[in-house]
Amino acid sequence: MSKLQKRWMVSVFFTVFIWSVGAFGVYYVSHSVPNQLQEPSTILAEETVQTKETESKDLKEIIYETQKSVVKIELADGSLGSGFLFNDKGDVVTNAHVVAGVENVTVTTADSNEFSGKVIGISSDVDVAVVRVDGLKGMDPLKIRSKDLAEMGDEVLALGSPFGLEKTVTTGIISGVERDLDLEPYRYEDVYQISAPIAPGNSGGPLILQETGEVLGINSAGSDQGAIGFSIPIVNVLSLIEGWSDTPMTTLPNVVSANEKHYEEASYNTADKDMAIYLVDYFYESLNYADYVTAYALLGSNWQSDISYETFRDGYMQTKSVFIDDIVAANSGDEVGVTAFITAEETNNGLTSYSKYKVKYVVGYENDELKILSGEGEVIK
């Protein structure tokens, strides 16, 4: 074979090779790249996840936003209850037993503003009522879970004003469903059983689904037989509430007032020592949420005169959380002595340590409000 023929064959070989590579490249680009472009972008996926995380709300945020629409309801005789803003008309949902026998009530908001309210709907069979508060028109109501019922194990928040303590939150789960019970003059059917503690004054407050901040029910009764409460599913009485809101009652039915009787039959123990324990527990719960304003407000005036709010707050700035290991109370005349053994998680120069304390408080009434009048503590070694 001549050199010319060899050069020609080599040239043909490389030409065919280049054509083949080119054809393969065209095929790959036309088939594989579009398929890749149709797949989700990793960058976009990460951005979507980050956006979702940003939009999700934590527990403290849900509590803060919800409390703004929860109110304390007070009758002329001093009876107390709770309620929550249902719509932008200023309509507040509560229990019938909270406002039974009256037409006008006083409503106090979370920022301590007082308004007059008028009962525009009340049932003599179902423990539900609606109070219209003109001063709350245009305010943002709570979101209502209007379709699905809650399920066993759902995490919930119970908000209200137990013993008149506004902006109180207790946590728990749906521990039972479809419960039936009679608390004269009302019949409770298909209600939620919850583990979040409920005390006198909580009645009428909202049961909140922790995951979304939606109203699941109306907290209505409790028991001292363990941490058990009962809440009426909002979806079961929604049509009743909306009917009163659209067409207020012109004449209210004669509903028997059942505030005190209601709680006695629900097996509540409202002795002073139980109220005192509740107050001390609420004090530490407020500290754990870094709500120093509420915690300071629970102190009596004499104690507050001895320590300023700034000094009080600074004293707890290094305390991350407090756990009550044990707590007991004993009556002493008009006051109650409360002894608690606590474990405090504290930080100092970036280091975390745990310390145990024995604290003693004196709890009593001041201007008709339950207060922590004095306190002292010692380190347990």
Is there a contact between 159 and 206 (Cβ–Cβ < 8 Å)? yes
Per DSSP, the residues of 181-250 read EEETTEEEEEEEEESS---TT-TTPEEEETTT--EEEEEEEEETTTTEEEEEEHHHHHHHHHHHHHS--S
Q: Which residues are catalytic?
A: 97, 127, 203
Is there a contact between 177 and 232 (Cβ–Cβ < 8 Å)? no
Per DSSP, the residues of 71-132 read EEEE-TTS-EEEEEE-STT-EEEE-HHHHTT-SEEEEE-TTS-EEEEEEEEE-SSSS-EEEE
Two tokens, residue 67: 């409390």
d(CA 236, CA 240) in angstroms, rounded, equals 9
Two tokens, residue 65: 């936003």
At 305, give phi and psi (nearest 5°): -70, -20
Beta-carbon contacts of residue 101 (< 8 Å; ≥ 6 apart): 255, 256, 257
Is there a contact between 224 and 267 (Cβ–Cβ < 8 Å)? yes
User: What DSSP designation does 140 have?
Assistant: P
Residue type (1 letter), 35: N
* Residue 68 three-state SS: coil
